[in-house]
Each structure stands twice: as structure tokens, then as C-alpha cells.
Amino acid sequence: MMLATLAGLILFSVVWALMMFSFIGSLASLSSDTPVVPKEGVLYMNMSNFVIAEKENPMDMTGLMQGNMTIKTLGLLNAIQALNIAAADPGVKFLYMRPDGVSAGIADIEELRRAILKFRESGKAVISFIENPSNASYYLASAADKVYVTASKGGMNTVIGLSSQMFFLKDLLDKLGVNMQLIRHGKYKSAGEMYIKNQISKENYEQTHAMISSIWNSWVADMAASRDITPDRFNALVDDLALVEPEDFVDNGLADAQLSREERKQKLCDLYMAEDFNDVQFIPFEDYTIARTSAPKFSTNQIAVIYADGEIVDGDDDPQNVAGDTFAEMIADVRANDMVKAVVLRVNSPGGSVLASDKIRKELQLLRESKPVIASYGNYAASGGYWISAESNYIFSDATTLTGSIGVFSLIPEFGKAVKNLAHINVTNVNSNRHSDMYSSMRPLDGAETAYVQQSVEHIYDEFTSIVAEGRELRKTYVDSIAQGRVWAGADAIKIGLVDEIGGIEDALNRAAFEVDGSASYDNFYIVRYPAAMTPLESLLSSFQDVKTPLVFGGTPFEAVERAFSSLKDAESGKVYARLPYEYIIK
């Protein structure tokens, strides 16, 4: 029996190994395959088939593991470049867009819309069709020459303005016996406020309302201009809940017509000049992007795009975040590369560790001594994200970017009472010195300890404002007045001098080219990305190494509460952070 068992185990191991080699071999072949796209047709942008992210990934590995190989992750820059290529491609007849189900950050959506408008400048038509209008999907749809809505009933309209929810946990924590000790600088630095208050502070409400209103006003200005109505008229329709049925969009000038399924087919035939719908050839946008932007190209005249995408954390080997040591070393490699003539620092980060942020900033200082560094802000460029980029030669921000948050905080939880009352455990700390257990989380800080942490917070805040003042050529007292931890939308940040110009990653690339040799466009430069995009195989292996427990309350109103407790668990007691108060989810 022992021999039989051993033989069975060996046989199983061999079969399993062969299956794994076969699976990995298949993925490896996928990583090198480029989609074959028709030479002629309609560029079809069905946004439920792909995700727009800061960095490209040919395939969503979660979908692959579930047997769904249709969802692909397109890098924002790749998507923009694909639209530019399509505008000049005689094989692309027009752009047909279905923005329902769009998945992208709010600033990424702004840049994608800008690229669609640029595509229209080529003289090619852009038409959009929507069935369930949302703030984001209609914002994109409104960039088209013609906006069509469904003639069917049962769709849902959520063009109702933007909203962000905040949860305050003090009452719950009090019941559990958990004491949260927040030490911060900046009356607007609301990081940790959810743990120490049971309702929003006046300052936090002021900054959040101003930020949400600024983002919405930017979107409304664009949508109203595209549909030739006033922003006041657009807001009145939203405030009065006048957009109920698809015909309401048509009646109020927000759409051109309602189309049934057959009418939509006929409209596409007419534009394609085809007798039959079966003769209309569609080119999936996700395939076109991968095929056209992955073509081999090389030049010693390079612009590097460095993606600071994710939370700024200490250490290295964290592909999901901006790991300080790894990132600093990568910047040093770019500095040593003589083929790289300029750098675009693409920041999409809510901040994080001050230590890691300053390591990165110091490497960027050295880099700027030999190459211009142009910052481009994505959805977030706040706190630590602003720390690393404030000294750039030039800063572009989207109007909807969340930036600023120039402030720091430290959060020290105290669970002693909760441990005793809930778990009936008594804790005794044995110390070598008077304050050895101040970060044990088992007792509250005394006055001297609170002053000690506050001193560290004040010192780092002073350093932060000095960095901004020098980098932006502003008086330090003025920086302090606009800092205080306040978060600004990009449209407001430009007014107070935190950024130089409203624009996207393409604008930053063009500016980088101009800094090198006066070029008006980056077309003559080879764009190299740091870190390089992972192949599907690398993405799969990374997903095995970075298995995260799924949220229990994901998709429910309690998801934000669960995330709040998760971030509390991950925070290091007593450490000083330069980070956004929340990762705002704006809908």
C-alpha cells in the first residue's frame, strides 16, 4: 500500500507539472501574440470590453482565471496614441462609441474625452450610442458628433451629479473601547478624522464640497459646450430630475435621436456606405490599440515616462504600489541612460510614506540636473504624490485631478480598553525606559509623548511647505495658507499656483520634447516606460504572489467601512504619513 501510494503521488506530481507547464506555455504564447485587426472598418469602442488604467496590461488576469478573456486593460497613453493613429489611418472610416460601462479614473476619462475630440478634428465622424446614461458615460458620449439613445424601455439614467460618501466611526470605536489618537498639522488634513469624529468637520466639508463642485463644473462646461446649451440649463435639468426617459435627452437637446436596434444597424450601414449590416466591418478598439501601439520601434532619442502609480510605500518589490527603494533605483537607472533625453513623471498616487517620498524626491533632484522632468498628474497627485513632483520643471494637471493635500499626520490606536472589555485579556508592559511602550497600542499617550509625535509632525510639515515653496517659486507663508492639508481639484490648483497648466500626458510629452530640442510634438521620440508593462505571464505570477483577501462587504454600503478598518490595520502606529485623507470614490 505504501508503494502504491508513493507511485500515485509521483504520477500525480508528474501530471500536475505537465499541466502547469502547458498552462504557463499557453500564457507565454499569449504574451507575445499581437491581435490581428482588419485593414479597413469602423473603430468600435465598446467600453464594457476594456478597462482604462495608467499602465497597459494586455489582459485582465482575473478575467482569465474566471474563463473570460474579453476584458483587457489598456494604458491611457496607449489608448490616446491609438486614437491619434486611427485619425490618420485611411482604413478607419469612423469611430463608433458605446460608453456604457466605462471603467476608468475620473481624470483618465477627461483625457480620453480630449483624445476623442482630437480624433474628430481629422474630419472623421464620431457617433455614440448609450442605453444607461451615467455621469461618466454621458460625459464621453457628448464628445461625439451625434449622440443616440435607445428606443427601448427599462434603461436607467444616473446623470444626477457627482457625490462622494464618507463614514465616521467614532461611535462604533467608542463602543468597542478603541481610542484613536490623531496627531496632525493642517486644519484641512482630515486623514484619520473618520476614526475620531462622528460627523464631518466644517473644514473637511468645505474642502470636499468645493472639490466635488469643481470637478462637476468642469464636466458640465464640457458637456454643455458640446451640446450647445448653457451650463445653467444643463444643471437645471439635473437638479429638476428632468432626465427620466431616453426621449427626455432628445427633447432637451442632450441627444440627437432615439434608435431601435434595427435603426442603429441602418445608421451604421449608411455611414459605412454598405448595403447590408453584415458588410460592415468592425475593428475592436482594444485590439486596435494593442496592435498599433505595440509595433517595434526604437531610437536613441528617447523620452522616459516614469509611472508613480499607487500608494507610496517603504521597501521594495511591491509592483502594486510605488515602493521607495525600488523606485529610487529605477530613477537612478533613467539618469544613467544617455539615450533618455527627458522624463515625464506621471503621478497617480494619493501619497503615503514620507520616508519613501523623500527618497524618490532626492533621486528626482539628481535626475533634473541632467534631464528635464515634466510632471503629469492623473487621478491623484496628492500629499506624497505632490511631495515627489513639486520641484518638477513644469506640471500638467487634469481639471479633475485631486492634488495638494500638503499636510502630514500620525495615527496611534489604543486598544487596551477593548482588549480588556471584549477579550477579557489583561496586558502588562515591561519597559527598559520611561516611554518604551508608547507605540504598543495598549495604553494612551501621555502629554510628553503626544508632544514628541507632534514635534515630528511639525518638522515634516515645515519641510513639506519648504519643498513646495522652492519648487513652485512661492513664498513659504503663502504655501502655508493654501496648504493645511487641503485637497484641491486641478481646475482650482492652477489658480493658486500648485500646477502650471491644465493638460494630460500627451501635453506633458510634447512639453518634454520642446525642452529637449524645441520640437512641437513628441512624435520624433521613442517613448520608453518605467516600470515596463507586465506580460500576461508576469501578471499571473505576480497575482499568485500578491493574493489579497476579498472584501466581505464589497459592493455594499459597508465597503467603505471595511476599507477604513483595513487601512487602519495596515497603518504603522506612530509613523508620519503624507497621504490623502481618503481615496475618494466619486460617482
Peptide linkage before 531 cis (omega within 30 of 0): yes
Reported as a pLDDT band with limits 50, 70 and 90, residue 573 is low
Residue 64 has pLDDT above 60, yes or no: no
SS (H, E, C) 278-298: HHCCEEEHHHHHHHHHCCCCC
* 134 is annotated as an active-site residue: no
Q: What is the pLDDT of residues 528-541, one digit of tens each?
A: 999 976 655 555 55
CA–CA separation, 516 vs 370, rounded Å?
11
Of the residues 383, 405, 441, 539, only one is catalytic, namely 383
Instruction: Tell me if 398 sits within 8 A of 392, measured CB to CB.
Output: no
The domains found in the chain, sorted by start residue, are 33-159+243-293 (3.90.226.10), 302-413+445-577 (3.90.226.10)
Residue with cell 495638494: 404
> Of the candidates 273, 162, 278, which has an alpha carbon nearest to the alpha carbon of residue 220?
162
Residue 228 has pLDDT above 60, yes or no: yes
Q: Report the DSSP beta bridge partners of residue 305.
A: 344, 529
SS (H, E, C) 309-354: ECCEECCCCCCCCEEHHHHHHHHHHHHHCCCEEEEEEEEEECEEEH
* Of the ranges 28-37, 129-138, 190-199, 404-413, the best mean pLDDT one: 129-138
Residue 294 has pLDDT above 50, yes or no: yes
Q: Which residues contact 284 (CB under 8 A, 6 or more apart)?
A: 35, 37, 44, 46, 49
Residue 120 has pLDDT above 60, yes or no: yes
Residue 61 has pLDDT above 60, yes or no: no
Reported as a pLDDT band with limits 50, 70 and 90, residue 66 is very low
Residue 568, amino acid: L
Give residue 70's pLDDT.
61
Residue 520 has what DSSP assignment?
S
Of the residues 189, 341, 359, 371, only one is catalytic, namely 189
In this structure, how many other beta carbons lie within 10 angstroms of the beta carbon of residue 163?
11
Reported as a pLDDT band with limits 50, 70 and 90, residue 314 is very high
CA–CA separation, 470 vs 463, rounded Å?
11
Distance from chain centroid for Cα 315: 22
Instruction: Tell me if 24 sits within 8 A of 537, measured CB to CB.
Output: yes
Q: What angle do CA 451, 452, 454 make, to 5 degrees?
A: 60
SS (H, E, C) 345-381: EEEEECEEEHHHHHHHHHHHHHHHCCCCEEEEEEEEE
Instruction: Tell me if 87 sits within 8 A of 124, measured CB to CB.
Output: yes
Phi, psi of 161 (to 5 degrees): 95, 170
Lowest mean pLDDT among 466-470, 516-520, 567-571: 567-571
Q: Report the DSSP beta bridge partners of residue 346.
A: 307, 376
* 383 is annotated as an active-site residue: yes
Tell me the pTM. 0.86
